[in-house]
Amino acid sequence: MPNPGVPSATVGRLVTYLRLLTELEEEGTRTTSSDELATRAHVSAFQVRKDLAYFGRFGTRGAGYTVATLRRELRRILGLTRPWTVAIVGMGRLGQALADYPNFDLYDFRLRAAFDADPAKAGLHAGGLVIEPIEALADRVAELGVDMAFLTVPASSAQVAADALVAAGVRGILNFAPAVLDVPETVHVEPIDFLAGLKRLAYQMVRPGDDDAAVG
């Protein structure tokens, strides 16, 4: 069901709704409403209903949503009904922070490998991983079936590292380097740029009310 009109802001909010539904389920809550989700996500109830409407009809008028059902539907929509195998490329402090980051496994993201171009780092431990030399990347990606990678190398090395990942068969890259990556159309790149985050924040601060509501 490709849906060419879905804005990226909607996808971001669906991810938030899914986290909120998981929290509700852990709290033992069985049913919820667009009002409750909206309050917790800091958006309007209209926005919640509009975001969900891209993907069909959920819930019952007056009765709201069954938490377990809506959570399952959102997992399906977001492609989270299968586990994804993840690697880190670039084991500086940021790569190490990601290796230590809790909870990836809870959400079916399996962090399985970490690579660095510095031979001195090979063999060191980071989180539950042992750092491997970058030369091992192609073989290990194939062996482990790595689907996506955190790219945490300096901007000057980002394209070379991305090329190696793409050649090895990785189809998704979470790019922390402040560089636009040149990848084939079949490979997806999601940028996470701290400096860009500060700039978006500066924009909001000088132009309050100007931007879409960010979901925190």
Shortest Cβ 131–a copy of itself spacing (Å): 15
Q: Of the candidates 35, 6, 188, 166, which has an alpha carbon nearest to the alpha carbon of residue 89?
A: 166
Report how far residue 130's alpha carbon sits from residue 114's, in angstroms, rounded to the nearest whole number: 7
Give residue for tokens 């636009």.
180
Q: Which is nearer to a copy of itself, 61 or 103 (CB)?
A: 103
Shortest Cβ 62–a copy of itself spacing (Å): 26
Shortest Cβ 197–a copy of itself spacing (Å): 5
CA distances from 197 to 19, 192, 204, 207 (A): 21, 8, 11, 15
Q: Which is nearer to a copy of itself, 135 or 212 (CB)?
A: 212
Q: Of the candidates 86, 83, 82, 79, which has an alpha carbon nearest to the alpha carbon of residue 149?
A: 86
Q: Which is nearer to a copy of itself, 63 or 106 (CB)?
A: 106
Shortest Cβ 75–a copy of itself spacing (Å): 10
Q: Which is nearer to a copy of itself, 62 or 216 (CB)?
A: 216
